[in-house]
Chain A
Amino acid sequence: MPFTSFRFFFFLAFVIFAYYVVPKKFQWFVLLVSSYAFYLYSGVENVFFIVATTLFTYFSGLLMQSMRNKNQKKIEALGEDLTVDKKRELKKEVAKKIHTVQVITVLINLGTLASLKYLNLLLGSVNDMFMLFRWDASVPFVNLIVPLGLSYYTFNSIGYLIDIGRGKYAAEKHLGKFALFVSFFPSVVQGPLNRFADVGIQLQQPHKLEYDNLKNGALLILWGLFKKLVIADRVSAIASTVFSSSFAAGEYNGSQILFGVIAYSFQIYGDFSGGTDITRGAAQMMGIELPLNFERPFFSTSLGDFWKRWHMSLGAWMREYVFYPVMLCRPVSNLSKKMRKKHGSYAGKMVPSVAAPMVVFFLIGIWHGVTSQYVVNGLYNATLISASVAMVPVYNKLIEKLHINTEAFSYRVFQILRTTVLLFISRIIVKAPSLHDAGLMIKALFTSVDFDFLLGFNGEIYKMGVSQKEMSLIIFSVLILLVVGVLQENGMKIRETLAKQNIVFRWALVLAFVAFILIFGVYGPDYNSSSFIYGNF
């Protein structure tokens, strides 16, 4: 059931109605039933996996909790006989046991995710190897389904298990309420990734009907539909025109590739952030605040900054469960210490600043897919981020020598442009038909510039999958997106500002926006809106 379909909005309206009509203590139950109904709609066979993950995570959480509780009782029972050393020993002992359970359960969850997503890819590679060595053998492929939202609910479950293992909060005792956290339908398809301590608790709490929640949620959904249907689904034609054929075919020059990568950047942003807006809006209508997933990534001043603004819930997840643990782990910390003592604090700092981004971006790369393009893109991001830490002393010297005012507006523009170029390279790496094509395309980007094409003088720009009229519409829509982005960057809260306007103006604006989406959105009874890109991850 795509989030842009009328079916979904009928379903959502029905759920919201039921949610506010039933007694408050049953609201969570309405959400659980709706979530499973939504999930069943995606295929009965999918339900098996989400139920298995839910049960496994739920009982693993309870097991860790009972180990901790038992130990606590033991400590309390010892009373005054308990020495500091004995207490320390008991705590260490149970921490070790809990850690073992935590590692095993996380690995089982990860293993399920990896085998469902990547087993056939791996078998394909094995067969390729056989062919390479001309061995007359092949491994048969396994008929596997990748359940809807597999990565998202698995990551949510892993986060929960790690938190329980760390003793951050107590394990959820109610199976139904825990099952709702894993399956909550607006966020099960493409996130955002949720924390149990935040969203899991909100889902259990009663929520009373509030006009502001309904209104703000609906406005956010509208904004998401605009990004997805008017921008993403329209510019996608340009991106697929440019990136569907091999560069060696010689069809496109550097400027056309630049045009393609700009279009692709807007497509993937409109698609993913538009989908997230619909998700967050739907949840907000029921009084549930899901975490932010995007914060105007087009205005990023560095790659590090970009990853704080793009897919923020995955970034936060990686920071908490991968980045810091890698940096704090013994081998990294010992090596860093050794380097610091031998070669000074700069060398010591380089150890974690290389190790942690490498691990995180390698994982983010293969999270998107186990292809050489995603792996190379992960390493590309990690290398640049590590290099940016390594180059700080050089930058500081340069800034001082050239008397650069880093507070000036022009410097910020320079930083944004620099980041944009680095991101274009990253986008080409994953979007090009192959890694080889990506290399050629990136080279062409800087060597074959065609200003006539870019300025539209020779009309070639209108042969890239969109007509002149569509191009005007795209430019107008992107301008709306950018103006809203600039206003938000400067601290304006659009929905609050709108709420302060006169009622006639307010409604006129909203209705005009609805009409704009209805008229210019890429949709219709015969049109099958392309599925969300991140729904496949």
Chain B
Amino acid sequence: MEKLLEILKSVRDDIDFENEDKLIDNEILDSFDIVSIVGELCDAYDITITVDDMEPENFNSAKAILALVERLIDEM
């Protein structure tokens, strides 16, 4: 989780990723932020995040993002 939080902070350092659980629903992150996050995650974890994974529920909280990363690592 720490590695993930570090990545998220590198994209938007003004957001409390540890506690926020409605990043998309409350429009805290927009699609352009998501793209930056996706780019960082793909590089850091050597995974491929596709358009199909770009669902709001996958990016609403750091926990959800971690679950997505773990799922994609497992599927590899």
A residues engaging B (CB < 8 A)? 84, 87-88, 91, 166, 168, 320, 324-325, 327-328, 332-334, 336-337, 340, 345, 348-349, 352-353, 389
Contact = CB atoms under 8 A, between A and B. Distances in A.
Contact of A324 (B10, B13, B36, B54): B54
Interface in B1-48: 10-13, 30-33, 35-36, 38-40, 42-43
B11 A340 contact: yes
Given A91-B76, A340-B11, A345-B12, A328 B49 contact: yes
B31 A327 contact: yes
Interface residues of chain B: helix, strand, loop or mixed (majority): helix
Nearest to B31: A327
A499 B26 CA distance: 35
Contacts of B50: 166, 328
Interface of B: 10-13, 30-33, 35-36, 38-40, 42-43, 49-52, 54, 76
Contact of B36 (A84, A340, A389): A340
Given A88-B76, A337-B39, A324 B51 contact: yes
Nearest to A334: B39
A349 B31 contact: no
Contacts of B40: 337
A336 B35 contact: yes
A348 B51 contact: no
A334 B38 CA distance: 11
Contacts of B54: 324
B11 A333 contact: no
B35 to A, nearest CB: 4
Top 6 closest pairs, chain A to chain B, by CB:
A333-B39, A327-B35, A324-B51, A353-B32, A349-B32, A352-B35
A87 B50 CA distance: 19
B62 to A, nearest CB: 17
A389 B10 CA distance: 20
Contacts of A389: 30, 32
A112 to B, nearest CB: 25
Contacts of A340: 10-11, 36
A158 B10 CA distance: 37
A324 B52 CA distance: 10
